[in-house]
Structure 1
Amino acid sequence: MEALFTNPWTIILLLTGLLSALSGWILKKYPPKSINWFYGYRTRRAMKGQDQWDFAQKLAGREMLRSGLLLTVLGIAGAWLPLSDEAAVAVALVPVIIFAFLPVVRVETELKKRFEGSGRN
């Protein structure tokens, strides 16, 4: 069990996964009510109007929570990978980067489909 918490793969993925899941949960539970530059999922497309904003906050929270939980599972599952510490750090960055951008891609795709596909801007 000691190897689990000293493996760089596990440390990186668990920490980023738990932080992402927590951020997603907070965003889902306490979404910002109005468009602002301080808190929430803030992209040009999400800030075009209140309908887009509300939709983006809910979806972004869910997607961040999902990505965070998947990173956490990967962190635990990969704890026994036979990699050197240097290799484990390098390889762990791949899912971190992918799961950081995946929620953005999903939310932006859904915003575009829902709000720009129907002729509304």
Structure 2
Amino acid sequence: MDSFTYVLTTNGVLFLISIIFWKFPPKKVNNIYGYRTPKAMQNQEIWNFANSNFNQAFLKYSGFSLLAALLLASITKVALSWEPMVLVALSILVSIIKTERSINDNFTDEGKRKQ
């Protein structure tokens, strides 16, 4: 498979998903769509905060991932194999970690906003 095609089907799809999440965030707490962790699903206020925070981070890091993978595909002479997938995994992982830290910084364990 061509390196650019590989990048577009991994990192490009991730970026497309992040745009969909950003443009169409979930309205209510649900088990199907949105940023769903036990802490994020405690109440509607945390749900809205977590999804907004995650969507912003996910959009930013998936965009960086796509640009980095495209740059890598353009400068390398060999076919890419695992490199774009590492960028995908890092984008998702960093977005989740930043969102969870933000939730913990702004809300108590009981789901109330910190002062």
TM-score bin, normalised by smaller chain: 0.7 to 0.9
Give the gaps of 5 or more residues in structure 2.
none
Matched, 1:38 2:32: yes
CA deviations 1:1-49 (Å, max 9, x no partner) are xxxx812xx4343333222222222222221111000111111111011
Report SS of the residue matched to 1:20.
helix
Q: Are residues 66 and 12 of structure 1, via their aligned partners in 2, closer, same or farther at CA, if it must alter by over 3 Å?
A: farther
Greater share of residues in helix: 1
| TM-score normalised by the chain length of structure 1 | 0.78
CA deviations 1:28-71 (Å, max 9, x no partner) are 22211110001111111110111100011111111111122111
Which residue is 1:70 aligned to?
A: 64
Aligned length: 111
Which residue is 2:106 aligned to?
A: 114
Identity percentage of aligned residues: 24
- For residue 101 of structure 1, the aligned residue among 70, 93, 102 is 93
Matched, 1:82 2:74: no
Give the gaps of 5 or more residues in structure 1.
none
